[in-house]
Amino acid sequence: MSPKTGTILVTGGCGYVGSHTVLSLLESGYKVIVLDNLSNTSSSAEPAVTPEALKRVQKILSTDEPIPFYAVDITDKPALVRIFESHPDISAVIHCAGLKSVGESGRRPLDYYNVNIAGTVNLLQVMEDFDVRRMVFSSSATVYGDPPKIPIPETSPIVASMSTYGRTKVFLEHIIKDFYRWSATLLRYFNPAGAHPSGIMGEDPQGIPNNLMPYLAQVAVGNLEKLTVFGQDYPTKDGTCIRDYLHVVDCADGHVAALKKIEREEAAGTFECNAYNLGAGTGCSVLDMVHAFSKAVGRDLPYVISARRLGDVPNLTADPTLANKELNWKATKTLDEMCADLWRWQRNNPSGYRTQN
């Protein structure tokens, strides 16, 4: 049976990874519809208003053609049903919607279980009811906890991670695997960073950013005074934590590659549920990133060293070999490109999507 190529529903499609994924899908010729509750964006939740992130996607594509959008929360099952009823051509779901702050998950665990777990179970039930049996899921390298081996292969043990947020990703991987009479791909993101090279699309966190690169970008535009480096006593080359930073455009392209693999498998009559690391395979310390981004900005960015942050592990560097081979995907962009693109975005949009362009 040849694969049913219809419309791709992207949940969380106005978020950082989601919006870049929507762009990659449209550039690859897919039809896309977007669902997002806009909880982590500066956009108005008015159903009639196109969210700013999607307007920027249209601008990059030089098109006025609207991207069908629903301001819907995945915990609202009747609303999910209505979307699937209105779009009988949905053939696959790229599921990026979810809460993702480690610190917040410790303070509001039930919200994390409700949105991430109950919301995803709703979505899976609706997909089953409408016979949509393909999913690409946003998982995270956090599922590896503090891994025994670096670089980390997908066979590394999945652990009941140190945070509630991380546990939701571990549980969801199990839930999606258990439900597998279908094709699913679990993408374990390492650290997506940077912005679209156009300088008009990027990460737009609300409030003070939790993550390193958006925080540094806010320091560079003068919205924040200095970076606090969390710990310099880790067993690494300079004492700061090592992470595998992945350009967000490469990360987005990984979703298209995952979808194409599902289509190839279905054409061959096989149905699988596999996990892949989306990482560059290169470890960079916090200070490496401070220096690389300072170079892009053209001046030294101020930082101080403080105590470790609860839950951080010394090193998360991907072994991306399996994704390179089976998804035909590879991170192509350099660290310098990532930093230059992030700086272009932040300089042009000091207030994120609230900046008028």
Location of structure tokens 């970076």 = 227
- Give me the catalytic one of 16, 70, 144, 165: 165
Q: Tell me the residue type at 222.
A: G
Nearer residue to ligand UD1 within complex by CB, 273 or 286: 286
Residue 171 near ligand UD1 by CB under 6 A: no
- Interaction between residue 309 and ligand UD1 (CB under 6 A): yes
d(CA 124, CA 187): 17
Kindly state the number of chain residues that form the binding site for ligand UD1, as judged by CB under 6 A.
Answer: 21
User: Residues 199, 348: contact at Cβ < 8 Å?
Assistant: yes
311 binds ligand UD1 (CB under 6 A): yes
Locus of tokens 């870049």: 20
Closest distance to ligand UD1 from the beta carbon of 322 (Å)? 20
Q: How many beta carbons lie within 10 A of that of residue 321, not counting itself? A: 15
CB 274 to ligand UD1: min, Å: 20
Q: Mask 267-286, x = binds ligand UD1 (CB under 6 A)?
A: -------------------x
Please report the DSSP string for 104-144 in residue order: HHHH-HHHHIIIIIIHHHHHHHHHHHTT--EEEEEEEGGGG
Rounded to whole angstroms, what are the CA distances from 156 to 17, 152, 188, 276, 331?
Answer: 25, 6, 12, 12, 21
Closest CB 215 distance from ligand UD1, rounded Å: 4
170 contributes a contact to ligand UD1 by CB under 6 A: no
**In a 3-state reduction of DSSP, which class is residue 75?**
coil
Of the pair 112, 215, the CB lying nearest ligand UD1 is at: 215
- Of 222 and 269, the one with the shorter C-beta distance to ligand UD1 is 222
Min CB(88)–ligand UD1 separation in Å:
34
Is residue 142 close enough to count as binding ligand UD1 by CB under 6 A? yes
The binder of ligand UD1 chosen from 90, 115, 170, 212 (CB under 6 A): 212
Helix (H) or strand (E) holding 276: strand 273-278
Of the two residues 8 and 284, which places its CB atom closer to ligand UD1 in the complex?
284
**In the annotation, is 234 catalytic?**
no
- Return the number of the residue (91 or 185) whose C-beta is nearest ligand UD1: 185
DSSP state of 83: H
- Asked if 296 and 213 touch (Cβ cutoff 8 Å), the reply is no
Q: Per CB under 6 A, which region of 76-84, 118-126, 144-152, 304-312 contacts ligand UD1?
A: 304-312
* Phi-psi sector, 352: left (phi>0), alpha (psi -120 to 50), beta: left
Active site amino acids: 165
Return residues touching ligand UD1 (CB under 6 A). 100, 102, 140, 142, 165-166, 191, 210-212, 215, 227-230, 241, 243, 286, 309, 311-312
